[in-house]
């Protein structure tokens, strides 16, 4: 577990019980106030390449500059990766399904400022005042059905292809990132995770885990709970606590 | 599937040699430590889970620099160079992806890339150091100079409106010079695109000859990549004849480099990143505008280089360079002036 200043964090990824490959990746950088989860697009060749490129590139971003500069740096880096994965990859004639992409959710923190940047269905949760808030809104067909056709979550989940992403790094020529800035309070806990983790767990289970005092304990609880289930997908979580 | 938490409990396995007893071929370098350990902890790349942290007892893998359909490039620390006090013991290291590495001639393809690149001695072509095999994990790899700077696709993201001529010429002239030199040596690159050109602190570098080819009679005996069995390209930069017939010639490099130059000059790909065959069928060549910041004298050469038909693409890299420097004898008919 990493401890820096007043931020402690813990991170883990697991292939799950079914998949042979782990296409998730994380970055845990408490010294830089930066944490990332990326989930390579399943079914496509090289999903792990995409998620690994994201965490490796974000890890190399310059440390100098103020919060706003660094936030711009993260966004610029993700736009570049979108181009690199979408337009610059060499395609083998035998493999036409050559879309390589990944979700991303990144959390940047400095003193009492935080910014969450995301594309896709990897999520950022905030545990504050004994309540769980989902800070990121999924870029998925499911979420689109809820927003645009007023379906409830259960109906949307039953929709065939509801898991399909509407945004991801590398998926389309233009990437639109979503950014949420917020003020951080003492006692806040954050969770970044891939869908493989949150899909097997109720909000109550997420909340209970995040209420634990240490990130490592929260992480253990999350994985113990998730791995008791089917764990069909890769699962990744990063817990950050003040 | 290995759990990185088990293999990497303190987060250091990616940046330092393993703490347990080193294998016998590792003894000399076991004391070498990273001078600048990274505080970041990254999950281990699972696709390369069979790849050890140290290759051939010498190259300590530090970070993924780039990856594509066929191979991945890492920054690695040369523990032997470090042991002897080399102030910059870092190299770029290319390995083939696990999927591709299993094909029988994969190592030969990698060797061909090494050999083609080594054959070219030019300031604007990346330098390769060596071809190696890690016998324990049965993986071949190339070591190369580690470039520090921006690839042109990164540059384009930072400069979405393109570059003014003063900056553009400092990239384009060395790039065309490198290409003219390679073609003069009988070597075709085969995959010219922004991400294969680096604007490094030591100047412009053309790299990744992984899809390259030597012309007949050059480097005889070198295994040639069979385009019948292995045909690959980057859709936005591949000339029509490459997409349609797998025909790779110097002329295909000309089309690709012209797309790169046009994009650097205007910020926009000449044909919206469409495959050239589609751009041709949609007659996009007709409405092509000269980039506003490109000197007028360059445009005839650039437009010719962007021709979809190989017969119309009647210009060499050297002629393009000369047209861009203003010392051109191309096109010859412009020299014919009325005598009055």
The CATH number of the domain holding residue B21 is 3.30.200.20
Q: How far is CA A184 from the centre of its chain?
A: 19
Answer whether residue A223 shows pLDDT above 90. yes
Chain A hits for B230, CB-CB cut-off 8 Å, are 92
Residue B156: closest CA among chain A residues belongs to which residue?
Answer: A80
Tell me: do B180 and B315 sit in the same domain. yes
Closest CA to B1 of B64, B62, B43, B41: B43
The pLDDT value recorded for residue A98 is 63
Q: Tell me: do B73 and B124 sit in the same domain.
A: yes
Q: Which one of B145, B178, B211 terminates a domain?
A: B145
Interface test with B, best of A79, A88, A220 (most B CBs within 10 A): A88
Higher pLDDT, A142 or A47: A142
Q: Domains in chain B: how many in total?
A: 2
Nearest-Cα distance to chain B for A119, in Å, is 18
Please answer whether residues B159 and B167 qualify as being in contact, where contact means their C-beta atoms are separated by less than 8 angstroms: no
Q: What is the DSSP string of A62-117?
A: ---S-HHHHHHHHHHHHHHHHHHHHHS--EETT-------B-EEEEEEETTEEEEE
What was the pLDDT predicted at B52? 84
Shortest alpha-carbon distance between residue B237 and chain A (Å) = 9
Shortest alpha-carbon distance between residue A226 and chain B (Å) = 15
Q: Any chain A CB within 8 A of the CB of B138?
A: no
Instruction: Establish if B340 belongs to a structural domain.
Output: no
Same domain, B100 and B204: no
Q: Which residue has the tokens 């990549």?
A: B225
User: Using an 8 Å Cβ cutoff, are A4 and A30 in contact?
Assistant: yes
**Rounded Cα distance, A118 and A37, in Å:** 10
Which alpha helices (DSSP H) does B185-249 contain, by range?
240-245
Interface check B107 vs A, CB under 8 A:
no
- C-alpha–C-alpha distance, residues B236 and B118, integer Å: 28
Task: Give the Cα separation of A64 and A8 in Å (integer).
Answer: 22
Q: Kindly determine whether residue B236 and residue A52, on different chains, have CB atoms separated by under 8 Å.
A: no
Interchain CB distance below 8 Å, B235 and A95: no
Question: For position B118, what pLDDT does the model report?
Answer: 96
B90 touching chain A per CB within 8 A:
no
| Complex ipTM value | 0.87
CB contact under 8 A, B45 and A25: yes
Q: What residue has token string 């039953």? A: A158
Domain that holds residue B162: 149-335
Query: Which of B126, B145, B164 delimits the end of a domain?
Result: B145
Query: pLDDT at position B228, please?
Result: 54
Closest-CA residue in chain A for B238? A90
Choose between A171 and B77: higher pLDDT.
Answer: B77
**B69: nearest CB among A30, A56, A89:** A89
> How far apart (Å, rounded) are the C-alpha atoms in residues B305 and B316?
8
Could you tell me if B175 and B302 are in contact, meaning their C-beta atoms sit under 8 angstroms apart? no
CB pairs under 8 A between A and B: 131
**In the prediction, which pLDDT does B45 show?**
57
Q: Are residues B285 and B201 in the same domain?
A: yes
Contact A31 B39 (CB under 8 A): yes
Is B8 noted as a catalytic residue in this protein?
no
pLDDT above 70 for A164: yes
Torsion of CA B270, B271, B276, B278, to 10 degrees: -160
Whether residue B190 sits in one domain with residue B135:
no
Min Cα distance A45 → chain B (Å) is: 8
Residue of B191, B208, B253, B322 marked active site = B191
Domain containing residue B168: CATH number? 1.10.510.10
Sign for the pseudo-dihedral over CA of B133, B136, B138, B144:
negative
* E strand intervals along chain A: 2-4, 7-14, 24-29, 34-39, 91-92, 104-110, 113-119, 123-128, 131-134, 178-183, 189-193, 235-241
Q: Do A48 and B64 touch (CB under 8 A)?
A: no
Closest CA to A126 of A191, A212, A209: A191
Please indicate, yes or no, if residue B63 is contained in any of the structural domains.
yes
Closest-CA distance, B232 to chain A, in angstroms, reads: 4
- Range among A18-27, A146-155, B300-309 with highest mean pLDDT value: B300-309
Choosing among A28, A41, A52, which should be mutated to test the B contact, i.e. which has the most B CBs within 10 A? A52
Would the CB atoms of B1 and A21 count as touching at under 8 Å?
A: yes
What's the Rg (C-alpha) of chain B? Answer: 22
Q: Is B35 annotated as a binding residue?
A: no
DSSP-assigned letter for residue B314: -
Note whether B38 contacts A: Cβ–Cβ < 8 A: yes
Could you tell me which of B195, B142, B52, B46 has the C-alpha nearest to residue A52?
B46
Last residue of a domain, one of B145, B169, B200: B145
Please give the CATH topology (third level) of the domain spanning A2-90+99-241. Phosphatase 2c; domain 1 (3.60.40)
Contact state of B211 with A90 under an 8 Å Cβ cutoff: yes
For residues A235 and A13, the answer to whether their CB atoms sit within 8 Å is: yes
Q: How confident is the model at residue A29 (pLDDT cuts 50, 70, 90)?
A: very high
Look at residues B42, B1, B4, B48 and name the one whose alpha carbon lies nearest to residue A16: B1
**Are B131 and B156 part of one and the same domain?**
no
pLDDT in tens, chain B (340 residues): 333 323 332 322 222 333 333 333 333 333 334 444 446 788 765 444 567 899 999 999 999 998 876 788 999 999 999 999 999 999 999 998 776 777 777 888 899 999 999 999 999 999 999 999 998 888 899 999 999 999 999 999 999 999 999 999 999 999 999 999 999 999 999 999 999 999 999 999 999 998 899 988 888 877 766 655 567 889 999 999 999 988 899 999 999 999 999 999 999 999 999 999 999 999 999 989 999 999 999 999 999 999 999 999 999 999 999 999 988 766 655 544 444 4
Query: Is B233's CB within 8 Å of A98's CB?
Result: no
pLDDT of res. A92:
75
* Sheet containing B149-151, strands listed edge to edge, beginning at the edge strand earlier in sequence: B149-151, B197-200, B203-206
Does residue B18 sit at the A interface (CB-CB below 8 Å)?
no
Candidate from A13, A49, A79 with C-beta closest to B43: A13
């Amino acid at each position: 577990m990493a401890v820096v200043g007043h931020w402690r964090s813990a991170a883990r990824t697991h292939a799950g019980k079914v998949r042979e490959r782990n296409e998730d990746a994380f970055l845990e950088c408490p010294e830089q106030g930066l944490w990332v989860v990326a989930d390579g697009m399943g079914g496509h060749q090289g999903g792990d390449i995409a998620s690994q490129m994201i965490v490796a590139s974000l890890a190399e971003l310059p440390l100098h500059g103020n919060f706003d500069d660094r936030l711009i740096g993260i966004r610029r880096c993700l736009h570049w990766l979108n181009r690199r994965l979408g337009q610059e990859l060499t395609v083998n004639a035998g493999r036409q399904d050559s879309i390589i992409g990944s979700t991303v959710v990144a959390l940047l923190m400095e003193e009492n400022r935080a910014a969450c940047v995301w594309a896709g269905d990897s999520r950022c949760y905030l545990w504050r005042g004994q309540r769980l808030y989902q800070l990121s809104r999924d870029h998925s067909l499911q979420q689109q059905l809820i927003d645009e056709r007023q379906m409830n979550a259960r109906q949307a989940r039953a929709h065939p292809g509801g898991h399909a992403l509407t945004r991801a790094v590398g998926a389309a020529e233009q990437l639109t990132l979503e950014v949420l800035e917020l003020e951080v309070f003492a006692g806040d806990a954050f969770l970044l995770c891939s869908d493989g983790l949150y899909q097997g767990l109720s909000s109550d289970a997420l909340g209970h885990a995040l209420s634990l005092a240490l990130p490592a304990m929260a992480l253990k609880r999350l994985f113990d709970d998730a791995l008791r289930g089917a764990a069909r997908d890769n699962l990744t979580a990063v817990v950050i606590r003040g | 599937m290995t759990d990185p938490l088990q293999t990497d409990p303190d987060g250091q396995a990616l940046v330092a040699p393993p703490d347990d007893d080193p294998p016998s071929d590792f003894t000399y370098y076991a004391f070498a430590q990273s001078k600048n350990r990274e505080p970041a902890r990254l999950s281990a790349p699972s696709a390369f889970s069979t790849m050890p942290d140290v290759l051939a007892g010498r190259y300590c893998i530090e970070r993924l620099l780039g990856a594509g359909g066929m191979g991945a490039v890492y920054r690695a620390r040369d523990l032997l160079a470090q042991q002897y006090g080399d102030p910059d013991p870092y190299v770029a290291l290319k390995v083939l992806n696990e999927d591709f590495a299993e094909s029988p001639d994969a190592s030969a393809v990698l060797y061909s890339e090494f050999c083609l690149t080594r054959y070219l001695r030019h300031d604007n072509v990346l330098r390769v150091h060596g071809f190696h095999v890690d016998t324990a994990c049965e993986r071949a790899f190339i070591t190369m100079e580690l470039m520090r700077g921006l690839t042109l696709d990164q540059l384009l993201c930072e400069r979405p409106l393109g570059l003014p001529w003063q900056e553009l010429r400092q990239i384009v002239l060395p790039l065309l010079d490198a290409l003219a030199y390679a073609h003069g040596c009988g070597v075709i690159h085969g995959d010219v695109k922004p991400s294969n050109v680096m604007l490094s602190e030591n100047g412009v570098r053309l790299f990744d000859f992984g899809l390259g080819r030597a012309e007949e009679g050059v480097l005889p005996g070198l295994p040639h990549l069979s385009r019948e069995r292995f045909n690959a390209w980057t859709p936005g930069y591949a000339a029509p004849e490459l997409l349609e017939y797998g025909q790779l010639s110097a002329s295909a490099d000309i089309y690709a480099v012209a797309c790169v130059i046009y994009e650097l000059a205007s910020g926009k790909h000449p044909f919206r990143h469409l495959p050239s065959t589609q751009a041709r069928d949609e007659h996009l060549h007709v409405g092509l505008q000269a980039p506003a910041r490109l000197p007028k004298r360059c445009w005839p050469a650039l437009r010719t280089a962007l021709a979809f038909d190989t017969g119309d693409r009647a210009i060499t890299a050297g002629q393009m360079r000369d047209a861009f420097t203003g010392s051109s004898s191309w096109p010859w008919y412009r020299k014919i002036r009325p005598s009055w």
